[in-house]
Amino acid sequence: MSITTKTGKIKGGEFLIKETEAEEIFIPEEWNEEQHLIAQSCKDFLQTEVYPKLDKIDSMEYPDLMPSLLKKTGQLGLLGTAIPEKYGGFFMDFNTNLLIAEGLGSSHSFIVAFSAHTGIGTTPILYFGTEEQKSKYLPKLASGELLSAYCLTEPDAGSDANAGKTKAILSEDKKYYLLNGQKMWITNGGFADILIVFAKIENDKYLSAFIVEKKFGGITMNPEEKKMGIKGSSTRQIFFNDCKVPVENLLGEREKGFKIALNILNIGRIKLAAATLGGSKVAIQKSIRYANERKQFGKSIGSFGAIKHKLGEMASRIYAVESAIYRTGQYIQDFYNELLDDNKADSDPAMSAIEEFAIECAILKVHGSEVLDAVVDEAVQIHGGMGFSAEGPIERGYRDSRINRIFEGTNEINRLVTIDMLLKRAMKGHLDLMSPALQVQKELTSIPELGSNGDTSLFATEKKILRNLKKAGLMVAGAAVQKLMHQLKEEQEILMHLAEILIEIYIAESAILRAEKSILLKGQKAGDPQITVSKIYLYRAVDIITKSAKETIYAFTDGDEQRMMLLGLKRFTKIDPYNLKEARRKIADIMLENNDYVI
C-alpha cells in the first residue's frame, strides 16, 4: 500500500477540531540513511567524549572541560546544523535538528550547555539579526570559536519577563548603550563569549535585545550556583555595570525583545522535548538490561509481572511522546517550506512556522519533561538500592531530570499558555472552535449512535475514541468559556485541567497515527508491537482526560447542567475493555528478549 501526502497547510492547534490522516504525518520509521548516521555520530560522541568524563564534568573542577567538549561538537558540525551554509553551517531540516537533540539528550549537563548554545544562545541572531550581525557572529558560533548564553531572567522577573529592571541608556554621542542590571540562572554564563541580553532602553515600556560580547567589559559574575542536578552546567548570576554595547549590536527592533524571547522559547521547548526523549530512551535501556541481569529468587527480575508492568508503561509513554515530537517537527518544516515557496511570511518564514505551532511546542515541553521524570523514577525503582546509589547508572539521571519541568517556562506556565493561545486564535478567527463546540452541545441532547458505522479498518475503533475525546474537550472548554467568560483567565486550576485534556488528545492521537502509518510502510505483522503500545497509551489518555474533565465540570457547574455534562462525558469517554496487563507484558517481553528498547 503506497503512502501519499495531502496538500494544504495544517494549522497549529487544529488537531482538536480536525481528524488527521496517518499519511499526513512524519514518523521516526521514515528516517533516511543520512539521518541514521547523524544519530549514530551523536551516540558515538557521547560514548567516547562525554560519558567517561561525567564525574569530572559534574565536579566543576575543570572549567575548560565543557567549553572544550562544545568546541569538539563544533568540529563535528553539530553546532551549525540549523545555520545556513553561507554563515558556515549545514542548514539541516527541522526534524534532523530535533534528532540531534535527542541523540545528545542523555548527556546530562552537556546537553544543557549544548542546547543553550545552539538554541537560545544562537537562534536570536539567526532569526532576528541584521545581515552584518549574522555574518559577524554565526560562523564563529557554528564552529565553536565563540560560545553563547541567553540572559533574560532576573531576581524579580521570572515568568513575567517584561518586569525586568536591566536598563540600557544611549550615550550622548549615540554610538553605544550603557547597560546596567543583573541577570540570574544564566546557563553557560561562566564561559560564554556572547550574551543575548534583554533590557529596557531608557524609559521604554517593553524589552529590547542586545548582542553583548564579554570583552566589552563592565561584566562581573557571582560564583557558580550549587544545584540539585545538572551540576556540570555552568550557571551564574551576571552583573552589567556600565557595559558599553555598540548601537549596531541592538538585536531586532527596539521594544521587540519580548517577541524575540517568546519565539526563541518556542524553539527551545520542542528541542527540550527531543532531548528528554533521548534521556528517556537511555533510562529504559539501562532498566531493561538491569532487569535481565539482576537475579532474585533464582530468576531475573525481568520475569516478574511488577517489573514488566513498569517497562511496558515506560515504553508506551516514550513511544507516544516520540510520535508527537516528530509529527510536530515535520509540521513546522512543511509550514516553513510553503511560506518560502509562497513568499507569504511577514517575517522570517522559520519564525512564522515556529510561532504557528507554539501550542504544540508547549504541549511537548510539558509532556516530554514529565515522561522523562516518570521514566527515570521507575528506572530508580527497578534498580532498587543500586538506583539510589551515586555509584549506580541511574541516580545522576534522576537528579538531572528535574530541571526540565522548570526550563523554558515552568510546566504550569506552559499549560496555561496552551489554552491561552488556543482561545486567542479562536477569538481572532484563526481557528474555528465555536462551530464544533456548538455541534457537540447539540449532540448532547441527541440520541447516541448505536453499533458500528460500517468502518472496519484497522484503527477504526481507536479513531472513533479519539473523535469522542475531542468532543469531550470541546464540550468542557466550550462550557467553561460560556459560563466563566473573562473570569476564566483567573481560574488557573480549570485552565490546567483543560490543558491536560488538550495534551493527552494530541499525544494519544500521535501514537495511533504513527502505528497506522508504520503498518502502511512495513505491514501489519511488523507493526503489531506498535499497535499494542499505542493502545496502551490511548487507554492511559482516556483515564487522564476523564479525570481532568470531571474535575473541571465539578468546578463550575451544578444541578441539571452538571448532570447533563457528566452524562455527555461518560458517552464521549466510553472505551471497550482491553487487557492492559497482557499488553504491557507483551511489550516488556519484546524488549527483554532484545535487551533494548525496541518497539
Estimate to the nearest angstrom the gap between the alpha carbon of 373 and the chain centroid.
Answer: 14
Cross-strand pairs, 240: 181, 219
Catalytic residue among 313, 408, 462, 509: 408
Return the C-alpha cell found at 552. Answer: 473541571
Helix (H) or strand (E) holding 221: strand 219-221
Helices 257-293 and 580-594: crossing angle in degrees, nearest 10, is 80
Report d(CA 264, CA 250) in Å as an integer: 17
**Secondary structure in 3-state letters for 497-566:** HHHHHHHHHHHHHHHHHHHHHHHHHHCHHHHHHHHHHHHHHHHHHHHHHHHHHHHHHHHHCCHHHHHHHH
* Beta carbons within 8 Å of 29's beta carbon, 6+ residues apart: 514, 517, 518, 521, 522
**H-state helical runs in 129-256:** 131-143
Place of cell 452524562: 567
Report d(CA 119, CA 74) in Å as an integer: 14
- Whether 408 is a known active-site residue: answer yes
* Beta carbons within 8 Å of 214's beta carbon, 6+ residues apart: 192, 193, 194, 195
Asked if 324 and 364 touch (Cβ cutoff 8 Å), the reply is: yes
Place of cell 564579554: 214
Q: Which residues are tagged catalytic? A: 408
